[in-house]
Amino acid sequence: MAKKDKHVSETPATQALRRAGVDFSEHPYDYVDRGGTSESARQLGVPEHEVVKTLVMQDERAQPLIVLMHGDKQVSTKNLARDIGAKAVSACAPEVAQRHSGYLVGGTSPFGTKKAMPVYVEATVLALPRVLINGGRRGYLVGIAPAVLVQLLGAKPVRCAL
C-alpha cells in the first residue's frame, strides 16, 4: 500500500488536476530505475493492468503525441498509425520526450505537459473503474476515473494494445 507519511509536493500535473476540480488519490512509491509499471504495481499492491503508462511518441513528421496504455501491454505502432491516420509512429528518444512533455522519463504525466500534444488512450483503459497514472514525478502515481482522460485531455480512444 501507499506510504501515507510520504509528502509529495505539487507538480504541474497535480496543479492541472486541482484547477480542473478533479478528484484524485495520491500513491507515492519508491522509484526503481527501469522498474516500470510492474514495479509500481507491485509496491502499491494493484494489478499492473490498472497502472497506465504515459508514452511520448511521434509521427512520421516528428509531430509529438501521447499514448496512454495499460502497464502490462505494449503499443502496436502499426495499429496506432492506422487508427490516427499517420504513415508511421515511433517512440521519441528520452531527451526529445522530456523536451516535449517537460517531465523526466519515468515521471511523465499526460497532465500539465509543457507542450500541448494530441492524446490517445487504449480504448480498454476507459472501461476500468479507476486507473493509476503518473502524477508528474518519478515514484508518484495518482488515481483517477478513466473518464478524466477524455474530459480533461480530450484523449481519443484507439485500439493498439499488444
What residue ranges do the domains of the chain occupy? 12-158
How many CA atoms within 13 Å lie on the side-chain side of 69? 20
Predicted TM-score (pTM) of the model is 0.93
Q: What is the overall mean pLDDT for the chain?
A: 94
Which residue in this structure is represented by grid cell 496504455? Answer: 69
Handedness of CA 53, 132, 42, 109 (dihedral sign): positive
pLDDT at 3 over 70: no
Where does 12-158 sit in CATH, by number?
3.90.960.10
| Cα 105 versus chain centre, distance | 11
For 57-87, write each residue's pLDDT tens digit. Answer: 999 999 999 999 999 999 999 999 999 999 9
99 φψ region: left (φ > 0), alpha (ψ -120 to 50), beta (else) = alpha
Identity (one letter) of the amino acid at 62? A
Distance CA 97, CA 86 (A): 19
pLDDT at 1 over 80: no
Nearest residue to 86 via CA among 59, 62, 56, 66: 59
For 139-154, write each residue's pLDDT tens digit. Answer: 999 999 999 999 999 9
pLDDT at 109 over 70: yes
Residues 6+ apart with CB under 8 A from 162: 73, 74, 75, 76
pLDDT at 7 over 60: no
Contact 55, 142 (CB under 8 A): no
